[in-house]
Amino acid sequence: MTDTLDDLSTRLSGCRLCADRFAATATRHAPRPVVWFDRGARLLIAGQAPGLKVHERGRPFDDPSGTRLRDWLGLSEAQFWDRSRIAIVPMAFCFPGYDANGADLPPPPLCRATWHDALFEALGEIRLRVYVGGYAHRYHLGAKTGVTETVRGWRDHLPDAIPLPHPSWRNTAWLKRNPWFADELLPVLRARVREAME
């Protein structure tokens, strides 16, 4: 039997599978799944995992990365956070924590293994899939190259999908080194987003 999105949302919100794992990180936090999808979503944003700010605020991309991502997509905050139009499905729904050096830990693979198949089956018709960052590129696109080469090959995935780098401030230098991203990819991305949202 296929789970409904409502069932999945309820079960996912209560998921604590990684409690021991997160308790052993430098941040010693508890799981807080950031669940963001609903019936009718036309656009999928498949990212990496919530950061600390999103973990505290409970809303995906409610941070400077999100501000940049909304600019890339050409969406207002109200449009972006309308979960009946846009589903936001990361590789892990909880903040993975920091290691002892303060570096981001990777999204736990257990999360996608537990949730993704049922969720993507229940999501239904998605008109445009936007894959954000290397973890999403490898999982959803089977990418074998690094982020730059995967994003440089963005035309190979049109019209249904577009890979993006992570919009983190850490990638500001990358954006400067790769002006084709703003000049060529972003206008097409914004046009495809508008079409998908109609």
Q: By CB under 6 A, name the binding residues for ligand SF4.
A: 12, 15-18, 31, 33, 92-94, 108, 110-111, 114
- Least distance (Å) from ligand SF4 to the CB of residue 33? 4
Nearer to ligand SF4, 12 or 151 (CB): 12
| CB-nearer residue toward ligand SF4: 110 or 158 | 110
Provide the minimum distance between the beta carbon of 156 and ligand SF4 in the complex, in angstroms, as a whole number: 30
Distance CA(5)–CA(122), nearest Å, equals: 6
Q: Compute the least distance from the CB of residue 5 to ligand SF4, in Å.
A: 15
186: its two tokens: 């972003």
Residues forming beta bridges with residue 36, ordered by sequence position: 88
Which CB sits closer to ligand SF4, 18 or 126?
18
Q: What share of the chain is helix, strand, coil (3-state, %, to 5)?
A: 45, 10, 45
5-13 helix and 109-123 helix, angle to the nearest 10 degrees: 160
Question: Is 14 or 124 the residue whose CB approaches ligand SF4 more closely?
Answer: 14
Cβ atoms of residues 161 and 141 within 8 Å:
yes
Q: What burial class does residue 145 get, using C-beta atoms within 10 Å of its C-beta: 0-12 exposed, 13-18 middle, 19+ buried?
A: middle
Shortest reach from residue 93's CB to ligand SF4, in Å: 4
